[in-house]
């Protein structure tokens, strides 16, 4: 596939996985367990979705910008989650609903790239640069390539962070990427907590990243869609940094540039089908996103707004999910804890597991165990040191405990078995 400027766009990780496994049959008579996709397979608690059955409401065009009830629910949640100052700071932190965070990431990158092109109309230094982690959530790269911008990667992953604090090396890595981009970028993307590694960046790191992104003229896009799935610690939010800097006497806090923080119900509430999230950012950047989405994007229908307001207003279902996730990680510790390189993630439901050959191992797990897992190389691109995702599997711990216990036992059994002569890999 070719994007603008003749850049080659990779097929999606899911398409590559289908190609990888397409010539193999799973074992007959075994329950197939999909572990390649980050969707927490649990019913949404009764009551939250009642509004969806309001047939009359579906016959109306969605209100642009959501409902007042939904916007108030965002503010209350921001206040509960990141401190009252964040919920109150309407002049510093603007909000706008999004149809999930995927589309918002793509729109934010496109808008930032457009702004960069305008700013540097006469510049001969090539396409806008977008700074992104590697490995990454694939939309970061797809969105960059779709608008003919140039990705400049920084290493992401467990080695970059200390769960619950530290993480200074992540800021250093982003600073180095910005230097490689020539000191100026259209956007810089940070995923906190990370996907696939589940690493958590500290408040200090977020503050440093804010300063260096501003110095490079970059819109800082902070993807916090896993923020409520910290199982070892509560991940800090970027908006806490913004609110606390705004409360300092003028001239004492390091300046910040344009920013957008992305939140979503997909992981927090396990409701990816609802396509509901929001962005929070500085007034100008949110206004630009809102103008774009209201004219060219997707607004949420009133029943979705009502369901979303109900979910953002309730923390008990999120606590129950987090408790269950903690028990599943305990299971993983017990079943896989002694495998070389096993590491419990600080947040989220992805196990990022070192294996020999990630593609061959994914094929074995499908053929022998009926498990689908994501080869790490599909979530990264090669840099000077090779593909940092290669040799890893991303395993989504998203099923009920009894299903996970069975699936992880199968995984262990295959990973600890000597490798038989592997079949050749086709369709790549």
Ligand X SMILES: Cc1ncc(COP(=O)(O)O)c(C=O)c1O
Residue 424: Cβ within 10 Å count = 7
Which is closer to ligand X, CB of 87 or CB of 277?
277
C-beta closer to ligand X: residue 13 or 85 = 13
* 3-class DSSP assignment, residue 8: strand
Q: Which residue is nearest to ligand X (CB)?
A: 100
Tell me which stretch binds ligand X (CB under 6 A): 96-104, 298-306, 313-321, 395-403: 96-104
Q: How far is the CB of 250 from ligand X (least distance, A)?
A: 35
Based on the shown chain and the rule CB under 6 A, indicate whether residue 272 belongs to the binding site for ligand X: yes
Shortest distance in whole angstroms from residue 268 CB to ligand X: 9
Q: Which stretch binds ligand X (CB under 6 A): 17-25, 116-124, 159-167, 264-272?
A: 264-272
Identify which of residues 199 and 223 has a Cβ nearer to ligand X in the complex.
223
- Is residue 35 close enough to count as binding ligand X by CB under 6 A? no
Pair 349, 325: CB distance under 8 Å = yes
- 172: Cβ contacts below 8 Å, ≥ 6 apart: none
Spell 148-159 as b/e; 16+ CB within 10 A means b. Answer: bbbbbbbbbbbe
- Closer residue to ligand X, CB minimum distance, 101 or 361: 101
Q: Decide if residue 352 touches ligand X (CB under 6 A).
A: no
Q: Are 325 and 231 in contact (CB under 8 A)?
A: yes
Q: Tokens in use for 189?
A: 């993307």
Q: How many CB atoms lie within 10 A of CB 100?
A: 21
Q: Is 102 one of the binding residues for ligand X (CB under 6 A)?
A: yes
Dist. CA 276–CA 103, nearest whole Å: 10
Q: Work out whether 396 is an interface residue with ligand X (CB under 6 A).
A: no
Build a one-symbol-per-residue string for 277-296: x at contacts with ligand X by CB under 6 A, - elsewhere.
x-------------------
Q: How far is CA 300 from CA 48, 294, 297, 353, in A?
A: 16, 10, 10, 37
**DSSP labels, 345-370:** -SBSSEEEEE-S-HHHHHHHHHHHH-
Question: Closest distance between ligand X and the C-beta of residue 372, in Å?
Answer: 15
Residues between 187 and 226 with contacts to ligand X, criterion CB under 6 A: 191, 195, 223, 225
The residue (of 217 and 350) whose beta carbon lies closer to ligand X is 350
Q: Per-residue contact track with ligand X, 123 to 162, x per CB under 6 A? A: --------------x-------------------------
How far, in Å, CA of 234 to CA of 245, rounded?
20
Tokens 């790490």 map to which residue? 376
The verdict on 38 binding ligand X (CB under 6 A) reads yes
Find out whether 349 and 374 touch, Cβ atoms under 8 Å: no
Asked if 5 and 127 touch (Cβ cutoff 8 Å), the reply is yes
Kindly state whether residue 389 participates in binding ligand X, applying the rule CB under 6 A. Answer: no
Chain residues binding ligand X by CB under 6 A are 38, 100-102, 137, 191, 195, 223, 225, 264, 266, 272, 277
């Amino acid at each position: 596939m070719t994007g603008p400027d003749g850049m080659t766009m990779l097929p999606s990780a899911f398409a590559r996985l289908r190609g990888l496994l397409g010539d193999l049959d799973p074992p007959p008579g075994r329950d197939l367990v999909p572990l390649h996709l980050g969707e927490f397979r649990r019913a949404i608690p009764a009551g939250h979705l009642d509004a969806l059955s309001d047939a009359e409401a579906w016959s109306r065009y969605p209100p642009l910008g959501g409902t007042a009830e939904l916007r108030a629910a965002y503010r209350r949640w921001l206040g509960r989650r990141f401190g009252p100052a964040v919920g109150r700071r309407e002049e510093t932190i603007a909000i706008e609903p999004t149809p999930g965070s995927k589309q918002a990431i793509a729109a934010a990158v496109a808008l930032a790239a457009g702004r960069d092109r305008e700013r540097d109309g006469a510049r001969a230094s090539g396409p806008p640069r977008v700074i992104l982690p590697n490995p990454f959530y694939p939309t970061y790269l797809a969105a960059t390539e779709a608008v003919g911008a140039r990705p400049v990667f920084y290493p992401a992953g467990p080695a970059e962070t200390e769960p619950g604090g530290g993480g200074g090396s992540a800021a250093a890595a982003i600073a180095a990427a910005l230097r490689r981009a020539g000191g100026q970028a259209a956007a810089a993307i940070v995923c906190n907590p990370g996907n696939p590694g589940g690493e958590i960046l500290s408040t200090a790191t977020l503050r440093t990243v804010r300063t260096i992104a501003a110095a490079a003229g970059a819109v800082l896009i902070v993807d916090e869609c896993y923020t409520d799935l910290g199982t070892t610690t509560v991940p800090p939010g970027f908006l806490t940094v913004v609110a606390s800097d705004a409360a300092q006497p003028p001239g004492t806090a390091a300046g910040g540039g344009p920013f957008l923080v992305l939140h979503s119900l997909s992981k927090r509430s396990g409701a990816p089908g609802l396509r509901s999230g929001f962005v929070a950012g500085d007034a100008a950047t949110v206004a630009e996103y809102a103008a774009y989405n209201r004219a060219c994007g997707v607004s949420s229908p009133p029943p979705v707004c009502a369901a979303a307001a109900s979910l953002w207003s309730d923390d008990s279902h999120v606590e129950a999910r987090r408790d269950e996730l903690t028990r599943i990680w305990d299971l993983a510790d017990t079943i896989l804890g002694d495998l070389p390189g096993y590491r419990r993630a600080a947040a989220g439901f992805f196990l990022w597991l070192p294996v020999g050959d990630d593609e061959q191992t994914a094929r074995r797990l499908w053929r022998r165990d009926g498990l689908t897992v994501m080869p790490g190389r599909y979530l990264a691109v090669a840099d000077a040191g090779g593909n940092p995702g290669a040799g890893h599997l991303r395993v989504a711990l998203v099923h009920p405990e009894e299903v996970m216990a069975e699936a992880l036992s199968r995984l262990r059994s295959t990973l600890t078995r000597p490798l038989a002569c592997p079949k050749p890999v086709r369709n790549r």
